Amino acid sequence: MALEERNCPYCKQQLTPWEAPPETWWGIILVCNNNECSYYVGSNCSITNKRDDSRLGTRYAEDPANNYQAFNLLSWCPF
Ligand SMILES: [Zn+2]
């Protein structure tokens, strides 16, 4: 499948193709991997996983298999 080149609407960085784990059914998705992205920083990693105190943020992502629909990708915070 040919992927379009897409850019994050928040930080303008090119989205990076990422192969999601098989159990998610997402296949290849496009993710903004910019740690400075306002979308990611704005999610402020305030979601606390009660079980192990891990912090999660949300990255901007698009699903090529679903007409490049935008969605939130939960991601570990880099700190
Ligand atoms: Zn971004």
Mean pLDDT by 10 residues, the chain (79 residues): 89 94 86 91 62 71 94 73
Residue 10 lies in a domain: no
User: How far does residue 32's CA lie from ligand 1's centre (Å)?
Assistant: 5
Please tell me the predicted confidence (pLDDT) of residue 45: 60
Q: Please give the tally of structural domains in the chain.
A: 1
Residue 4 lies in a domain: no
pTM for this model (two decimals): 0.76
22 vs 55: CA distance, rounded Å: 23
User: How far does residue 36's CA lie from ligand 1's centre (Å)?
Assistant: 8
Q: Residue 65 has what DSSP assignment? A: G
Residue 2 lies in a domain: no
User: How far does residue 34's CA lie from ligand 1's centre (Å)?
Assistant: 6
Evaluate whether 59 touches 75 at the Cβ level (below 8 Å).
Answer: yes
Tell me the residue range of the domain where 21 lies.
16-76
User: How far does residue 23's CA lie from ligand 1's centre (Å)?
Assistant: 25
Helix (H) or strand (E) holding 17: strand 16-19
User: How far does residue 52's CA lie from ligand 1's centre (Å)?
Assistant: 27
